[in-house]
Amino acid sequence: MLGFGDEVWWSRLALPAVRTWQASDTPLRLVEQETPKEDADPKALACYGLLARIRTSTSETPVDKILLRFVDGRPVSTVSIDFLSWCSERLHTAGKKALLLVWDNASWHISKAVRSWLGEHNRQVKAGKRVGVRIVLCLLPSKSPWLNAIEPKWVHGKRAVVEPARLLTAKELADRACAYFDCEHEPHLVQPKKAA
């Protein structure tokens, strides 16, 4: 199965570039939001996504399905491993055998920890010791986001969930993104705390 993976930040404050037809006497104005001092939610949410081109039969046209996992924290190698493991299990449940994963060469994608985990994961899946699909990486060249098919999905998603009149909570923003992409709002992945 072919999949395009990436991370994105969903900002509660920054508004995406949008265009609309409006009457000249009542133009739509997007006002930059500010967080109140008592607001404990993060200003932006990190999110991993996998755009999967799923074909249920050989004669059928592939259907795009997006799997999302939000992160409490930021993308790091351990969170990338958690996301890949979750995707592997979900695709196995859907009857897939392997994932050709197209993504960029961000440091948390190509770290030694991720590469070691992928090697061990693939060996265990092949030997039948782990439930999941084998994952084969196809790294994109540096600074080439236009080659990743999930990138335009992020742009359209941000435009679709924007709220011009008020500041969304982090939960509302995540719920809207999941509703737009027609996927479940799964429990957030957690960036491990550094030992003091």
Structure confidence by residue, pLDDT tens digits, 118-149: 999 999 999 999 999 999 999 998 888 889 99
Going from the C-alpha of 42 to that of each of 10, 29, 103, the distances in angstroms are 10, 24, 26
Dihedrals phi, psi of 68, to nearest 5 degrees: -120, 145
Which stretches in the chain have pLDDT values below 50? 196
Going from the C-alpha of 158 to that of each of 8, 16, 27, 111, 177, the distances in angstroms are 10, 6, 21, 29, 8
What pLDDT score was predicted for residue 91?
A: 93
| CATH assignment at residue 180 | 3.30.420.10
DSSP-assigned beta bridge partners for residue 48: 7, 69
Task: Examine residue 31 and state whether it is found in any structural domain, yes or no.
Answer: no
State the residue range of the domain holding 154: 2-9+40-184
pTM: 0.85
Task: Examine residue 139 and state whether it is found in any structural domain, yes or no.
Answer: yes
Q: Give the count of domains, the chain.
A: 1
